Chains A and B, each alone.
Chain A
């Protein structure tokens, strides 16, 4: 079965510390993977997608097919990074997304 697992419900780090939000997936084919973010009082929005290989707001994510992971990383956390982060998988060609349960990131001053 297709599944996205985010093992941490809450991750607290100090400002300037590195951040890694974990995402593991279960899918037999070639997945399309995304990170979505929801800042306080804002809508859920796309942060980055693996196919673009981009860095957004200092965040990067690498697809590791061997470990079936798509962890989100940032070398130096900022207070404005505090938000809910969701990892999502789109099973290729199905138009259906599967979301993880989310990780709340708190960046402490």
Chain B
């Protein structure tokens, strides 16, 4: 199993551009999460999903959108990139939500100039 995969690994965007960060898992996990990690800070939850077709906001959802059309994929969309969105983005999945281990992807380093 590949586990949780994320693409791209790195990306530089100009202000106002849009992009989609891809996340996929092959473990048949119901729960998926998107986090961002700013320098010197902890991970902050952007959005999460408890199953295909169900998504909900986390702590810092502004400027982002998600969709969950399949169990495997959970893409994160940035519509109008801003310098404040410069961060490392982590996708994670877990089998059963509460009390379950979260499995993380390798991260995407995004810079908005």
A interface residues (Cβ-Cβ under 8 A, vs B): 4, 6, 9, 32, 36, 43-46, 49, 51, 86, 90, 92-102
Contacts and interface: CB of A to CB of B under 8 A. Distances in A.
Nearest to A90: B98
A95 B90 CA distance: 16
8 contacts: A43-B105, A44-B92, A92-B98, A95-B98, A97-B102, A99-B42, A99-B44, A101-B41
Contacts of A96: 45, 48, 58-59
A36 B94 CA distance: 14
Given A95-B31, A101-B42, 11 more contacts: A43-B107, A49-B101, A90-B98, A95-B50, A96-B48, A96-B58, A97-B102, A99-B35, A99-B42, A100-B42, A101-B41
Contacts of B45: 96-98
Contacts, number: 53
B63 interface: no
B106 A43 contact: yes
Contacts of A98: 42, 45, 59
B53 interface: no
Chain B CB within 10 A, most for which of A43, A95, A98, A101: A95
Contacts of B107: 43
A43 to B, nearest CB: 5
B97 interface: yes
